Structure 1
Amino acid sequence: MSAVPLILASSSPQRQRLLREAGHDFQIVPPNEGAECGICSQCGPAELVTDLALRKAEDVSQQLASGDTKIPAGCLLIACDTVAECGGLILGKPASEDHAGEMLHRLSGTVHRVYSGLAVARCDASGELSEVDMQIAISELEMDTLADTQIDHYLASGLWEGKAGAIGYQDRVGWLHLIEGSESNVVGLPMELLARMIASKEK
Structure 2
Amino acid sequence: MLRLCSTSKVRQEILQSFKIPFVASDSGFDEETLNAESPKTFAYEAALGKYASALECYGLEIPLLIADSVVSCNGILQRKAKNAEEANAFLQAQSGGILSVISCAILHCSAFYYMDMSATHLVLEIFDKNAMESYLKSGLWKNKAGAVMIEGFHKHFIKKQIGTTYNAMGLNIEALLPFLKEAV
- For the aligned pair, the TM-score class normalised by the smaller chain equals 0.7 to 0.9
Say whether residues 1:79 and 2:73 are aligned partners.
no
The SS at the match of 1:98 is helix
Instruction: Report what 1:159 is aligned to.
Output: 140
Q: 1:171 to 1:49 in 2, by over 3 A?
A: same
Q: How many residue pairs align between the two structures?
A: 182
The SS at the match of 2:175 is helix
* TM-score of the pair, normalised by structure 1: 0.80
Q: 1:169 to 1:56 in 2, by over 3 A?
A: same
1:137 to 115, 118, 121: 118
Say whether residues 1:174 and 2:156 are aligned partners.
yes
Instruction: Report what 1:45 is aligned to.
Output: 39
The SS at the match of 1:84 is strand
The SS at the match of 2:140 is coil
1:194 to 172, 176, 179: 176
Alignment-mate amino acid for residue 28 of structure 2: N
The SS at the match of 1:62 is helix
In the alignment, is the contact (CA less than 8 A) between 2:29 and 2:49 conserved in 1?
Answer: no
Instruction: Report what 2:96 is aligned to.
Output: 109
Say whether residues 1:60 and 2:54 are aligned partners.
yes
Alignment-mate amino acid for residue 20 of structure 2: H
Q: Distance in 2 between matches of 1:42 and 1:132?
A: 24
The SS at the match of 1:79 is strand
Q: 1:35 to 1:6 in 2, by over 3 A?
A: closer
Q: 1:197 offset after TM fit, Å?
A: 3.5
Instruction: Report what 1:126 is aligned to.
Output: none
Q: Distance in 1 between matches of 2:79 and 2:115?
A: 20
In the alignment, is the contact (CA less than 8 A) between 1:50 and 1:134 conserved in 2?
Answer: no
Q: 1:41 offset after TM fit, Å?
A: 8.2
In the alignment, is the contact (CA less than 8 A) between 1:36 and 1:92 conserved in 2?
Answer: no
* TM-score of the pair, normalised by structure 2: 0.88
Identity %: 24
Q: 1:143 offset after TM fit, Å?
A: 1.8
The SS at the match of 2:146 is helix
What residue ranges of structure 2 are gaps of 5+ in the alignment? Answer: none
Q: 1:178 offset after TM fit, Å?
A: 5.0
Q: 1:148 offset after TM fit, Å?
A: 3.6
In the alignment, is the contact (CA less than 8 A) between 2:27 and 2:54 conserved in 1?
Answer: yes
Q: Distance in 2 between matches of 1:6 and 1:177?
A: 36
In the alignment, is the contact (CA less than 8 A) between 1:36 and 1:93 conserved in 2?
Answer: no
In the alignment, is the contact (CA less than 8 A) between 2:31 and 2:46 conserved in 1?
Answer: no
Instruction: Report what 1:68 is aligned to.
Output: none
Alignment-mate amino acid for residue 60 of structure 1: A
